[in-house]
Amino acid sequence: EYQRLEDGEEESPPGEEELLLHVTEGLQDSWHHIKNLDNFFTKISLRGPCLAKNGFACMMLSDVFELVQFLFVVTFTTFLLCCVDYDVLFANRPLNHSQAGAAAPDRGKVTLPDAVLPAAQCAQRIRASSWIIFLLVMAAAFWLYRLVKVLCSLLGFWEIRSFYIRALDIPAEELCNYSWQEVQARLIALQRRQQMCVHKRELTELDIYHRILRFKNYTVAMVNKSLLPVRFRLPLLGPVVFLTQGLKYNLELLLFWGPGSLFQNKWSLRPQCKRAGARRELAQRLARTMVLLGVANLLLCPCVLVWQLLYAFFSYAEVIKREPGSLGARRWSLYGRHYLRHFNELNHELQARLSRGYKPATKYMNSFTSPLLTVLAKNVGFFAGSILAVLIVLTVYDEDVLTVQHILTAITLLGLLVTLARSFIPDEHTVWCPEQLLQRVLAHVHYMPDHWPGNASRAETRSEMAQLFQYKAVFILEELLSPVLTPLILIFALPARALDIVDFFRNFTVEVVGVGDICSFAQLDVRNHGNPQWLSAGQTEASLYQQAENGKTELSLMRFALAHPRWQPPRRSELFLSRLQQRVQRDAATAGPGTGVLPEGPLGASLLS
């Protein structure tokens, strides 16, 4: 059982339905009397960096082209299914080009217009297929929904742009020169002048982060405590992790903002979720909702699967033809982004940190090679390359070779095979040093299981790292399988965790004045959630269930304190930071300037931080 965690330092806020954004005379604009400060601060944190980086016109065009792209995929697919005569296109049926007065029929090459059916015949084919009409109606409804969202998004962009200019006094052309910390400082100063939040006289950096990342902190904590069923052991494949955008969307719908979710609004947990006596009844209701949501996903599976297949084909077909090795590139998995994310870390902060760790992680994963696979790749590349070279020489000698049936297909496939084989051949100058490479990865990602250090050369470590840093091909495959596997997880795997999830939200939710209900881990209090392996004796009162795994509370506290030097942490947390700083300074002094361990200049300053 999770232990009850009370927050004795803060009193419960009196319902946030009266929490208004009050702007005095002179700033009476569209952001006056905004009830939902969570949404408002989220827009500032998400769209502010986008506006600074890309500008309003770029963000507007990006949203508009999303709509155009969806419309193109649906229209072009319908055209290919119903408006093309493939017997004519593939020359299975001869086409008579004879004209009046001609001595003999012209049986020249087939042109594209010859293979396109007339508009009337095309429309008749579409009307004859009820399945196509159903999919078109579903696509039209979704497109209209996306249109409304894009219009609201554009209005939101304009609203935030006006807020930056008028309230924060940041000109649009200079927005790119301001960091998030500077914008946040102006928000805090504006609160002192305008009282945006009526329940607190002053906002802190942590209050703003709590509002922006309220739900995200819960998700990060559940992944940290291994509460979500995303790990499975499959025959032949062994341990696998499955977390896709579709599954994540359903989990958020189920827990945070859906009609039967645990939250009654954006900032408050349902009262029955806070009572221990209602836990079993609430867990049964949540389990039923999970099953119903899974059934709904199962019914929508064909539509979603068709869209996923079409979008993947149109998105990646040309890239694969041009750069087959792109499927062998790696990316941080969705599970990895949650596992490696600190509490109270914004999206752009996480992205910057993981981007710095991308190259070291790639070098570490590429340092593992299979001698057997290398030998096979070299020989496959040799044979395929030899045949390809001959075909290219023949084509250069006489272009009529291209008229031979399937010769272009053979050249394309052989080129893909050569490129793919080359990607499995390692650089002969690579030095095998997995421990050092893994330490470089750790310097940026900050988290790794306790059994990784000292075992960096083991295949098990590489397999676990691959769950965080997956191939792009694996990512595409997971997203394609998501419409099929997500309903199964919702129906069979997730209901068994319903009671644990209800207990988690009851035991790890605290109410903060002027903020509402938040995840208690996000308070960065080592007294309640510290890990004894990271702390001195007596610094934490957390039990095994209350403490965050892998030192996430301590590492999140250090990152947040470094990013916000003016923030005042809780007393125990401040004591931990001061002792840590003293130890770092003592170790640096012991190393001495002559050892070269901590060189002077920017690198040394970065390491000392």
DSSP 227-292: -SS-EEEETTTEEEE---HHHHHHHHIIIIISTT-SBSSSS-B-GGGG-GGGHHHHHHHHHHHHHH
For helices 434-445 and 347-356, give the axis angle rounded to 10 degrees. 160
Reduced to 3 states (helix: H, G, I; strand: E, B; else coil), residue 343 is coil
Q: Looking at the DSSP assignment, which residues form a beta bridge with residue 239?
A: 233
Taking 70 as the pLDDT cut, the residues of the chain under it are 1-35, 47-56, 95-109, 195, 198, 318, 321-322, 324-325, 536-538, 591-609
Phi first, then psi: what are they for 328, rounded to 5°?
-85, -5
**Residue 346 contacts residue 213 (beta carbons within 8 Å):** yes
Instruction: Judge whether 567 lies within some domain.
Output: yes
Could you tell me the two tokens for 355?
A: 């981007």
Could you tell me the two tokens for 455?
A: 């075992």
Phi first, then psi: what are they for 111, rounded to 5°?
-100, 165
> What is the span of the domain harbouring residue 541?
524-591+599-608
Q: Looking at the DSSP assignment, which residues form a beta bridge with residue 116?
A: 84
- Reported as half-sphere exposure (CB side, CA atoms, 13 A), residue 402 has a value of 7
Distance of alpha carbon 490 from alpha carbon 495, whole angstroms:
7
Distance of alpha carbon 430 from alpha carbon 496, whole angstroms:
47
Q: Which of 203, 235, 267 is the last residue of a domain?
A: 203
Residues 6+ apart with CB under 8 A from 152: none
Could you tell me the two tokens for 379?
A: 């020989």
pLDDT at 509: 94
Distance of alpha carbon 500 from alpha carbon 550, whole angstroms:
21
Reduced to 3 states (helix: H, G, I; strand: E, B; else coil), residue 331 is strand
Distance of alpha carbon 316 from alpha carbon 308, whole angstroms:
12
pTM of the full predicted structure?
0.82
Instruction: Judge whether 46 lies within some domain.
Output: yes
Q: Looking at the DSSP assignment, which residues form a beta bridge with residue 84?
A: 116
Instruction: Judge whether 26 lies within some domain.
Output: no
Name the amino acid, one letter, at 250. Answer: N
Q: What's the chain's length in residues?
A: 609
Instruction: Judge whether 245 lies within some domain.
Output: no
pLDDT at 99: 52
Q: Which residue has the tokens 């304009």?
A: 158
Q: Which of 203, 226, 247 is the last residue of a domain?
A: 203
Domain tally, the chain: 2
Q: Could you tell me whether strands 509-512 and 469-471 are parallel, antiparallel, or unpaired per DSSP bridges?
A: unpaired
Reduced to 3 states (helix: H, G, I; strand: E, B; else coil), residue 470 is strand
Instruction: Judge whether 496 lies within some domain.
Output: no
What proportions of the chain, in percent to the nearest 5, are helix, strand and coil? 65, 5, 30
**Residue 540 contacts residue 572 (beta carbons within 8 Å):** yes
Would you list the DSSP string of 22-56?
---TT--STTTT-S-HHHHHHHHHHHHHHHHHHHH
**Residue 332 contacts residue 354 (beta carbons within 8 Å):** yes
pLDDT at 221: 96
Nearest 10 degrees: Cα torsion 586, 587, 589, 594:
180
Instruction: Judge whether 340 lies within some domain.
Output: no
Distance of alpha carbon 310 from alpha carbon 321, whole angstroms:
17
Cβ–Cβ contacts within 10 Å for residue 151, how many? 12
Instruction: Judge whether 255 lies within some domain.
Output: no
Instruction: Judge whether 391 lies within some domain.
Output: no
Distance of alpha carbon 502 from alpha carbon 549, whole angstroms:
20
Q: Looking at the DSSP assignment, which residues form a beta bridge with residue 416?
A: none
Question: Distances from the Cα of 193 to the Cαs of 18, 166, 205, in angstroms?
Answer: 19, 14, 16
Q: Which of 184, 203, 222 is the last residue of a domain?
A: 203
